Structure 1
Amino acid sequence: MRQNPSFAFTDTAELRRVIDANPWMTLVSSTDDGLVASHYAVLLDADRDDLTVVGHVGRPDDMIHGLGTRELLLVVQGPHGYISPGWYGDVASVPTWNFVSIHLSGVPEILSPEENLVVLERLVDRFESAMPSPRGMWTAPNDPDFVHKLERGTIGFRLTPTRVVAKRKLSQNKSDEVVDTIIEQLESSRSPYADPRLPAEMRRAHDAMRTARAEQA
Structure 2
Amino acid sequence: MRHTPTYILTDPDEVKRLVRENPWATFVSNTANGLVASHYPVVLEETPEGISIVSHVGRPDEKLHELGQHEMLMIIQGPHGYISPGWYANSEFVPTWNHVTAHLYGTPEILSDAENFDVLDDLVDHFEKQLPQPISLDIDENQARRIAEGTVGIRFVVTRFDARLKLSQNKTPEVVDRIIDALEGDGPFASASLAAEMRRVRDAVSTTDLTDEENHAPA
TM-score range, shorter chain: over 0.9
State the 1:194 CA deviation: 4.8
1:167 aligns with 2:164: yes
Paired amino acid for 2:210: A
Alpha-carbon distance in 2 for matches of 1:46, 1:213: 31
Paired position in structure 2 for 1:101: 101
Give the structure-2-normalised TM-score: 0.92
Does residue 1:70 correspond to 2:66, yes or no? Answer: no
**CA-to-partner distance for each residue in 1:7-33, whole Å, 9 max, x for gaps?**
011222222111101001100001122
Aligned match of 1:120: 120
Task: Tell which deviates more after alignment, 101-110 or 206-215.
Answer: 206-215
Pick one of 201, 205, 211 that aligns with 2:201: 205
Amino acid at match of 1:94: V
Q: TM-score, normalised by structure 1?
A: 0.93
Counterparts in 2 of 1:162-201, with a 5 A limit? 162-190=159-187, 192-201=188-197
Q: CA RMSD in A?
A: 1.4
Moved over 3 A (4+): 46-49
Shift of the 83–127 alpha-carbon distance from structure 1 to 2, 3 Å rule, reads: same
Supply the distance in 2 between the matched residues of 1:57 and 1:34 (Cα, whole angstroms).
18
On the 8 A contact 2:75/2:104 being kept in 1, the answer is yes
Q: Which residue number corresponds to residue 59 of structure 1? A: 59
- Name the stretch that deviates more: 122-131 or 201-210: 122-131
> Where does structure 1 lack aligned partners over 5 or more consecutive residues?
none
Partner of 2:217: none
In structure 2, what residue type is equivalent to 1:209?
V
Counterpart residue number, 2:12: 12
**CA-CA distance at 1:93 after TM superposition:** 2.7
Uncovered stretches (5+) of structure 2, i.e. residues with no partner: 214-219
Percent identical among aligned pairs is 49
Query: How many Å apart are 1:78 and its aligned residue?
Result: 0.2
